[in-house]
Amino acid sequence: MVWRKAIYRKVLIGEFGIRAGDSVAPPNDHGLVIDLLNQDDWHLALENNPYLNEADLARFRNQAATCIVARDGNRIAASTWMLRGGFFVTEVSRELHLRPDTHFSCRSFVASDYRGRALLSHMIHHYAMSIDPDNQITGLVFDWNIPSIRSLERIGWRHRGDYWTTFVLGRAFHHEQHFPPRPPITLSNTES
C-alpha cells in the first residue's frame, strides 16, 4: 500500500455534460427557492459547503463565476458553482481550458438533511435555463460518486470523456479521452 501511494497512483474523473437548451427539468418538486447569488453574497455559500474556502471565492471572482443556491428560508441547503474559461482541477492536478461557450459546474454541495431531493439537478437546470441554449454545460465527477452522476443524468447530462492523471514517483502524467455522449449508466429505463 505504501509503495502504491509513493511510487504509483492514478486518479480518474469523468466528464459529463449537455447543451443548455437540452436540459431536462427534474420531475420532483423540491419545495425550495433556487437563486443565483450576487458576488456580494457569495460568502453565504461558505456556511454549508466544507469543500469551499475563501481562496476559492477569490479565484471565482476572476473567472466569471456564478453561484447557484437552493434556499430553505434563510438557510442555504445546497450550492453549486459555474465557471468559465480556464481553471485548475485539484483532483487531477492540472489546468483545464474551456471554450468561451462552455460553463463548468464545480464545488457542489448539498447539506445532509436535504439530500435525496435532486437539488443539484434543480439548481443546474435553473442555471441552464438562464443562459444561451446553445452553450454547453459540463462537469467532472468521480466514477464512484453515483448520487452525483444520477442527478446529472436525470437532467440529460451524459458521460462524454475522461481525464486522468497517473503519478509516478511524484511526477504527474496527464491524459484525456473524449467520445460521443454515452447512454445513462445509473438510470433504469423507468427512471429516464
For the chain, domains (ranges, CATH) are: 2-178 (3.40.630.30)
According to the model, what pLDDT value does residue 189 have? 45
The partner residues of 21 in beta bridges, in order of sequence, read none
Higher pLDDT, 71 or 89: 71
Instruction: For the chain, give the mean pLDDT.
Output: 87
CB burial of 64-99 (b: ≥16 within 10 Å; e: otherwise) equals ebbbbbbbbeeebbbbbbbbbeebebeebeeebeee
Give pTM, 2 decimals: 0.83
User: What value does the mean pLDDT take over residues 35-51?
Assistant: 89
- The helix-helix angle for 146-154 and 119-128 (nearest 10°) equals 40
Please answer whether residues 15 and 96 qualify as being in contact, where contact means their C-beta atoms are separated by less than 8 angstroms. Answer: no
pLDDT band per the 50, 70, 90 thresholds, residue 5: low
pLDDT tens column, 140-185? 998 888 888 988 898 899 999 999 988 888 888 999 999 999 999 8
- Cell reading at 74: 434563510
3 state DSSP class of 42: helix
